[in-house]
Structure formats: structure tokens, C-alpha cells
Structure 1
Amino acid sequence: MSLILDNIIQHLHHANELHEHTQKAQLIQPLRELQHWQTKRLLATHQDLWQSKRFRPAMGFFIDELYGPQDFSQRDQELARVVPKMAKIIPKQALESLEAALRLNSLSLALDIALTENLASGPVTRKSYALAYVQCDNQEQREEQIVLLERLGVDLADVVKIKGISTLLMLSRKPAKMAGVESLHKFLESGFKSFKKLGNVDEFIQPIITRERALKNALFAQQVPNPLPEFEA
């Protein structure tokens, strides 16, 4: 358990360092623009899942809580304050899911910053994105991002099966608000609700993993034509 908490603290420190870097390097606005573009790209690539009543909540969670153009610094600050107490109130499986989510979040942020720094000036396009993606030369980290996404999906599917987890989250809503960790609680509850009625998680996760890995490989291979989907940015 202590290793999980140590990893959570490490991911939070890394995320904080990345937030400070974006501020000092004046990358906040171009980073948000990139993340907004990437959200549209994800929806275009996985439009069938987004249109599915069964899969939309889980897709929404991944986009809103992990990939979207949002500032997660408040949630991370809240987490840093309560990490020592978390092991006493949160099941180990839930902590493992949180650790995977935070690792994915910090890694994705680092990859986004690298992309932002390599992008040509002006609006993000399929061409400029593909060029910057290759210039980052971080194929191993991109593969790790995909592996973490798969792990998180499986972990969350296991968490919703924990006996009493729904009641625990409901009863802890008010205490979380009073303790100043409301955004953290919303994050945990959102993940639970989005996966609660998902059913067989592989039917949701595997299409995403397969498509994202194929797209990553095609981009690094500099395939022609451009493998990125066309969509209205």
C-alpha cells in the first residue's frame, strides 16, 4: 500500500513541475488549444463509441478527466494534502485506479507539452500535428500512454465491483466538500459512475487501444496519406 501512495505523490510532484513549466514558458494558451484539438481528434477516431449510449459515459470520463483542455492543478493540490489519509478510507483497488489515472494524466501532460513546443505557430492542423508528433521522438512514452490507458480501464471495471463502493462514495460526498477535497471526490465518483453500467470492459477498451496503437505506429512511420482523421476543428 505504501508503494502505491509513494507513486501517487511522485505523479503529483511531476504534474506540479509540469504546470510550473507551462506557466514559465508561457505555454498555457497554446497547450489548451492543442488539447482542445486532440479532444476533437479522439471523438473523430472513436465516433462509434461516443455515439453509443452504453459507452458514452466512459468516453466522456476519459476525455473530460484525463485528456481534455482542463486545469487539474486544484485536484492535484487537494490530493497532495490527503494522500497520507487515503489508505485508511479508500479500498486498495480504488487507490490503484487513482494511481494509474494520475500516472496517465501526468504522462499525457508531458507529451502534450512536448507537442506544443514542437508545433509550428498558428492553428493546429492534421499536417502540423503529424510533423510535431514525429519530431518529439518519444515512441516509447506514447506506447506507455496506451498501456496505461488499457490498465486504467480494466482497473476501473474492477473497482465498480467492490462491495459497498457506491455507498462509500455517496456518504463521503459531504465530508469531502467540508474537507476541501470536493474536486478529488468528483473525479473518483465520475470514474465510478461512468464504468458502473459498462458491462464487459474489453468491448470498450480494446477498440480504443487497437485504434490508438495503429494511429501511433502510422504517425511514427510517417505514412502517406496522413493517418489522422479529418474533422472540423
Structure 2
Amino acid sequence: MSQNIIQHIYRVNALRDLAGQLGLMPKIHQLQYWQCARLLISHDDLAKQQRYQKAMAFFVEELYGPKDFSQRDADLVRVIPKLAKVLPDKAMNAMNDALSLNALSFDLDMAMAQYLTQHYPDSDIDRDNYAEAYRSVGRSEDRAHQIDIISHLGDQLAEVIKVRGIGMLISLSRRPAKMAGLLALHEFLERGFNAFKAIGDVQSFIHPVLNREKTLMQALFAEDLVLPQDNPLPKVHLEQGLF
């Protein structure tokens, strides 16, 4: 499992380096921000419920957003073998899912950014050029796998929060993590645990998200979809902050 996690990190680092060389990072960041805003609109009813707010923020900011994860990833590569000896298997599986999702999402975002840069070099991202890019890039199997990873991640998180003593373990490790220069990694773990612990029933959050995202994916890939009039995406108005 440790090696899988490291490979996900190496993959996304290689993609980031390539995107930087191609000058795609500004467009990727714009795309990621737009997608985060779209997620919050599509799941507005969940985002407004207090018990789900931390979980929604974690998904948007820690797994999908334009945040710089380089320090967290460097921390992970450095200590993942040691973490594997301390954390339960369910926690390691959840971390593997999270990093796998991050790598696949960045890969797809990069492909979308390339299309948008080529066909809409001077335009901001909107629902119409996003839908066109989504369909043109295709990769429906990867899109379906992206949703499958979220489903499995939800199952693992539901089990992690039940592990006796893991909350205390994470809390007590904050000071040693800070002294060891691993604060970015610790904050990622602590925030994820606290977000889903607050829900209790993780599936009550994950299932609606999965069902809606599957429906949207299927609508975007439908053979009889006519753009822009049949665009299933919501209108997104970007504001200063997502939360």
C-alpha cells in the first residue's frame, strides 16, 4: 500500500512538471476552481447542512481544488512507511484512495486544460465550453473510475471513523508532526478525520454525491446531447471564496 501511495504522488508530480513546461498551470487552476464552484452548486443542499459542511469543504479543498499539495505530498513520501506501521489498514486504504483520486483528477484536468487552451485561448471557463471540452476529451472509463474511487473512499472513511482511539492518536501526534516538519500532512489527516467524524453516517453524504455525479456524467456523454441548448451543467458564478 505504501508503494502505491508513493506512485500516485510521483504520477501527479510528473504531470505537474509537464503542465508547467507546457504553460498549462494557470488554466488548470482556473478549471479546478470552476469545478469546485460547480460541485458546490450541484450539491448545494448538502453544503448548506451543518453536519456536511466540513466534509464538503474537505472534498472541494483537499481533493479537487487548486490548492498547492506539494508540501503534503513531500511529507507523505518521506514518512509513509512509518505511517503504515502506526495507522490501521482502513486509514491507509483511505489515503491511497485520496491520492489515487488526486492523481486521476489532475490527469483529466490537464487534458481538459489542453483542449480549452487550444480552442478557447482568450475565454474564461463557462458551462458551455466546459461541456464541450468534457465531451471532446472523452475518457468515459476514467470518469467512471473517478466516481468509483470516491465510492470506495467513502466506504473506507466510514470504517476509519469507527476505529477506537484513532482520533486521539491523530490529535496527540500534532505536536510531534509539527516538530518533524510534517504539519501539512498532519493537517490533511486531521481535517479529513474530523470532517467525516462530524457526519456519523458517511454514506448519507457520499451516496447523494455519487448518484448526482453519475447522472451528470451520463448526461454529458449522451450521444443525443445537443450543445449548448441541452447542457446539463448548472450556471456557475465564480465568487471570491468557495466557503
Paired residue total:
230
Give the equivalent residue in structure 2 for 1:219: 220
1:24 aligns with 2:21: yes
Relative to the length of structure 1, the TM-score reads 0.96
Identity of aligned residues (%): 46
The code of the aligned residue for 1:156 comes to L
C-alpha distance after superposition, 1:26-62 (max 9, x if no partner) = 1111111111111110011000000011111111110
Give the equivalent residue in structure 2 for 1:14: 11
Give the equivalent residue in structure 2 for 1:177: 178
The CA distance in 2 between the partners of 1:192 and 1:168, in whole Å, is 11
The CA distance in 2 between the partners of 1:152 and 1:41, in whole Å, is 21
Contact 1:19 1:73 in 2 (8 A): no
The CA distance in 1 between the partners of 2:221 and 2:74, in whole Å, is 35
C-alpha distance after superposition, 1:55-107 (max 9, x if no partner) = 11111110010011111111111111112212222221111110110000111
Specify every segment of 5 or more residues in structure 1 that has no aligned partner in the other structure, as ranges.
none
Give the equivalent residue in structure 1 for 2:241: none
Contact 2:126 2:236 in 1 (8 A): no
Q: Which of 101, 105, 114 pairs up with 2:102?
A: 105
The code of the aligned residue for 1:173 comes to R
Specify every segment of 5 or more residues in structure 2 that has no aligned partner in the other structure, as ranges.
239-243
Q: Secondary structure of 2:51's match?
A: coil
1:56 aligns with 2:61: no
Contact 2:127 2:236 in 1 (8 A): no
Q: Which runs of 4+ in 1 moved over 3 A?
A: none
Contact 2:34 2:236 in 1 (8 A): no
The CA distance in 1 between the partners of 2:58 and 2:19, in whole Å, is 24
The CA distance in 1 between the partners of 2:209 and 2:86, in whole Å, is 32
The code of the aligned residue for 2:32 comes to Q
Deviation at residue 218 of structure 1 after TM alignment:
0.7
C-alpha distance after superposition, 1:118-165 (max 9, x if no partner) = 112210011100010011120000000001111112211211111101
The CA distance in 1 between the partners of 2:49 and 2:163, in whole Å, is 26
Contact 2:98 2:153 in 1 (8 A): yes
Give the equivalent residue in structure 1 for 2:235: 230
Give the equivalent residue in structure 2 for 1:87: 84
The CA distance in 2 between the partners of 1:96 and 1:59, in whole Å, is 20
1:46 aligns with 2:51: no
The code of the aligned residue for 2:14 comes to E
Aligned ranges 1:138-217 → 2 under 5 Å: 138-217=139-218
The CA distance in 2 between the partners of 1:146 and 1:111, in whole Å, is 13
Q: Which has the larger displacement, 153-162 or 206-215?
A: 153-162
Q: Secondary structure of 2:50's match?
A: coil
The CA distance in 2 between the partners of 1:87 and 1:206, in whole Å, is 29
The CA distance in 1 between the partners of 2:2 and 2:77, in whole Å, is 10
The code of the aligned residue for 1:41 comes to R
The CA distance in 1 between the partners of 2:5 and 2:236, in whole Å, is 36
